[in-house]
Amino acid sequence: MSTLKDAAVGRTFIIKKVNGEGAIRRRIMDMGLTKGTKVLVRKVAPLGDPIEITVRGYELTIRKADADIVEVEPYKE
């Protein structure tokens, strides 16, 4: 299973699981990154951190360390 950290720019993914525990997991889920949500990877900063994604109709910038706890799979229409 791949994570959002390794996701390719311009591709759409479905969130399968949010790992982690405590405050970090809660913060990720509060931002709208929950199981079954569709996510589009828009950009990656020149040095690789952070990542800009589109989720639930808004743009979100997330650190690679946080993206590493979100498991995703490619979206198939």
Instruction: Give residue 10's pLDDT.
Output: 92
Render 2-58 in DSSP notation, one character per residue. Answer: EEGGGPPTT-EEEEEEE---HHHHHHHHHTT--TT-EEEEEEE-TTS-SEEEEETTE
Q: Determine the pLDDT at residue 55.
A: 94
In this predicted structure, what is the pLDDT of residue 76? 86
pLDDT in tens, 6-53: 888 999 999 999 998 889 999 999 989 999 999 999 999 988 889 999
List of domains in the chain: 2-74 (2.30.30.90)
